[in-house]
Structure 1
Amino acid sequence: MTLLYKPSKIRSHLDPEQKERYIARPTKRIIVDQDAIGELLAMRSTVSPEDVSLVLNGLRHVMMDLLGDNHIIHLPGFGIFGTAFKSEVADTPDGITYRSVKDIKLTFRPDPWMKRKMKEFVVRKG
């Protein structure tokens, strides 16, 4: 498991000199779709890729139904999914209404197991 990085130029708006500096950014990442995940899981189990796809599609719909009903979803080993709002500010509690919510965001907090596993990744220049 190797993550590739590239040096990326940045300028901080907090730096009065606007000095160019560099940070590491991920590079050469490859998108893996549901079909590819289905194939990988099928090779590691007795489930067919089609069955994996059906379960993933079902999970997607169930998760959105639950999130839309004000639930937080905890999938052990993965993490916790929830919602957050981008909201207008008001001077009083009565000033906040459903119209104050300008955007609904999906939140994700990775499971501690996942965080530990990520520390095992190797990072090298890509």
Structure 2
Amino acid sequence: MPAKFITTKKTVPFGPEMKELYCATLVKNREVDLHEIAEALSESSTLNPVDCYGVMVGMAAQIAKHLQEGNVVNIEFLGTFRIRAKSTAVESPELVTEKTIGKPSVNFRPSVLMKQRISKTQFVTKK
């Protein structure tokens, strides 16, 4: 099924003046949850939905554990996860502590295979 888009108007700086331009904005269709993915995986394998769900929940916990340890997690067909956090700049090395580190977040970089798969996405105007 193709991804849908709408046309949106943007006002952007264009030299000394503002100019109205138009661009495509992708429309979020619906949210797919872990249960739905587990059901779909079950239909294409010999595992039941509960087993698929359990493996994915366990995988998410293991990814989080490894990220907390400072590891980079590479899921070959999905992509790479890294932990990151912003840090406040201070005037001397002695002032750098765990308190100068902000909240951690996760950086995700899709694998080559994932990029190839999504590159085949087709787009249609939302009606």
The TM-score with structure 1 as length reference comes to: 0.89
Partner of 1:82: 82
Instruction: Return the alpha-carbon distance in structure 2 between the equivalents of residues 46 and 8 of structure 1.
Output: 45
Q: Structure 1 residues 82, 125: closer, same or farther in 2, change over 3 A?
A: same
Q: Deviations over 1:15-48 (max 9, x none)?
A: 6423222221111411111111111111100111
Classify the secondary structure of the residue corresponding to 1:20.
strand
1:68 and 2:68 correspond:
yes
Aligned residue number for residue 96 of structure 1: 96
User: Helix, strand or coil for the counterpart of 1:108?
Assistant: strand
SS of residue matched to 1:90 = coil
Q: How many Å separate the matches in 1 of 2:38 and 2:94?
A: 49
Classify 1:20/1:95 alpha carbon distance in 2 versus 1 (closer, same or farther; 3 Å).
Answer: farther
Distance, in Å, in 1 between the alignment partners of 2:25 and 2:49 is: 33
Q: Equivalences for 1:28-47 in 2 at 5 Å?
A: 28-47=28-47
CA deviations 1:65-89 (Å, max 9, x no partner) are 1111111100001000011112212
Query: 1: distance between equivalents of 2:104 and 2:47?
Result: 35
More divergent stretch after superposition (34-43 vs 11-20): 11-20
Q: Are the equivalent residues in 2 in contact too, given 1:87–1:103 (CA < 8 A)?
A: no
Count of equivalent residues: 126
Alpha carbons 1:83, 1:104 under 8 Å: kept: yes
The answer to whether the Cα contact below 8 Å between 1:10 and 1:22 also exists between their aligned partners in 2 is: yes
2:11–2:20: 8 Å Cα contact kept in structure 1?
yes
Partner of residue 22, structure 2: 22
2:16 pairs with 1:6: no
Q: TM-score, normalised by structure 2?
A: 0.88
Which range moves more in the overlay, 17-26 or 54-63? 17-26
- Where do 5+ consecutive residues of structure 2 fail to align? none
5+ residue gaps, structure 1: none
Q: Which has the higher strand share?
A: 2
Kindly report the root-mean-square deviation, in angstroms, between the aligned alpha carbons of the 2 structures.
1.8
CA distance in 1, matches of 2:9, 2:49: 42
